[in-house]
Amino acid sequence: MNHHITVGLDGSRESIAAAHWAADEAELRDVELRLTHAEDRSSPRSVPATSETRREWAEALLRESADALSHDHPQLAITTQSIDGPPAASLATAASTADVLVLGSRALSTVAGFVLGSVGMAVLHTTAQPVVLVRSGEDAPLNPGGEPRGGLVVGVDIGGPRDPLLAFAFAEASRRSCRLHVLHVCQSPPLFGYGAAYDPGVYAEIKEKATAELLDTVKPWRDKFSTVDVTVDTPVAHAGHTLVDAGAKADLIVVGRRIRHASLGSHIGSTTHAVIHHATAPVAVVAHD
């Protein structure tokens, strides 16, 4: 298999930011970077531009982007491809042979949040490979306080599949030589919010049990990646909000998405949905059964 990182390019600031992130990632992994432009040139939205005009524009975009990235990463192997077809389906097909697919996401504001468009959401629903969403903007490498980002955050469910997420997160932390924060957000007691008075010991028990289970879950990966500095936490809180807050200063937030083979039902859980729409850091979505 020719290992490579694929990034979707459409000329937007978001996709250019994604290309720069993907170049850094490809260099870390010592693999090829593949710049991909996908467009259905028979679509009505291409009018009044002709198919030939659109093709020339796409070729110029890929060539200029490759030149700019080669200047910053002279040792990186960079290839380009232009695909004529529906973008979501084309990018999903391109991603099937990649190690990671990287896409841009528009920020809700200069402070926080993503807007994941219909193409990005459709790709997430159908791609088994990890997908990284990168926001644009000059403030993207910084947290809202203006300090450099650092470390990775991964959200796991100790009662569900977690090995694909931990494998991805530990490998990323190892490549970057940075701290990995493993987070499992505990469910509140059933009567929370109904005015029931709880002994603080109830919350302490929940957290203590979850922490012990999380440490057991993480141990094999700690042993495998012994150089990675790992912290674990098991707060009793709202999962989506907690992951967004925990990842505010992170280089990358890693979350999961269950692969559903049926046509009905949600492909992206509420926690992952909240993170990809409200995080300020890049977000890696790792599919699992």
First to last CA, the chain: 23
92 and 213 share one domain: no
Say yes or no: 93 and 63 in one domain.
Answer: yes
Q: How do residues 24-54 score in pLDDT, each as one tens digit?
A: 999 999 999 999 999 876 554 444 466 788 8
The residues pairing with 283 across neighbouring beta strands, listed in sequence order, are: 133, 253
CB 257 within 8 A of CB 288: yes
Same domain, 127 and 186: no
Residues 254 and 150 in one domain: yes
Domain that holds residue 118: 1-140
pLDDT at site 53: 84
Give the per-residue pLDDT at 189: 66
* pLDDT above 80: residue 254: yes
211 has a pLDDT exceeding 60: yes
End of a domain among 122, 140, 158?
A: 140
User: What is the residue type of 37?
Assistant: H
Q: Is the pLDDT of residue 159 over 60?
A: yes
**Rounded to the nearest 5°, which phi and psi values hold at 284?**
-100, 125
Q: Give the count of domains, the chain.
A: 2
Residues 119 and 155 in one domain: no
CATH of the domain at 244: 3.40.50.12370
Q: Provide the pLDDT for residue 111.
A: 37
* Same domain, residue pair 122 and 84: yes
Q: With 60 as the cut, is the pLDDT of residue 141 above it?
A: no
Query: Does one domain contain both 281 and 175?
Result: yes
Residues 225 and 194 in one domain: yes
Same domain, 145 and 287: yes
- The 3-state secondary structure of the chain reads CCCEEEEECCCCHHHHHHHHHHHHHHHHHCCEEEEEEEECCCCHHHCCCCHHHHHHHHHHHHHHHHHHHHHHCCCCCEEEEEEECCHHHHHHHHHCCCCEEEEEEEECCCCCCEECCHHHHHHHHHCCCCEEEEECCCCCCECCCCCECCCEEEECCCCCCCHHHHHHHHHHHHHHCCCEEEECCECCCCCCCCCCCCCHHHHHHHHHHHHHHHHHHHHHHHHHCCCCCEEEECCECCHHHHHHHHCCCCCEEEEEEECCCCCCCCCCCHHHHHHHHHCCCCEEEEEEC
Are 134 and 145 contained in the same domain? no
98 and 77 part of one domain: yes
Q: For 170-193, what is each residue's pLDDT tens digit?
A: 999 999 999 999 999 987 766 555
Q: Looking at the predicted structure, is the pLDDT value of residue 3 above 90?
A: yes
Which pLDDT score, from 0 to 100, does residue 263 have?
53
pLDDT for res 198: 58
Is the C-alpha dihedral spanning 239, 242, 248, 254 positive or negative? Answer: negative
Q: What is the pLDDT of residue 199?
A: 62
pTM of the model: 0.87
Q: Point out the domain boundary residue: 93, 120, 140.
A: 140
| Mean pLDDT within 202-230 | 93
Of 81, 114, 140, the one marking the end of a domain is 140
Radius of gyration of the chain (CA): 20
Q: What's the pLDDT tens digit per position in 67-125?
A: 999 999 999 999 999 998 888 889 999 999 999 999 998 654 333 444 456 677 788 88
Most confident range (mean pLDDT) of 50-54, 240-244, 263-267 is 240-244
> CATH number, domain at 134?
3.40.50.620
Cα 196 to Cα 203: distance, rounded to the nearest angstrom: 13
Same domain, 10 and 79: yes
Cβ atoms of residues 27 and 4 within 8 Å = no
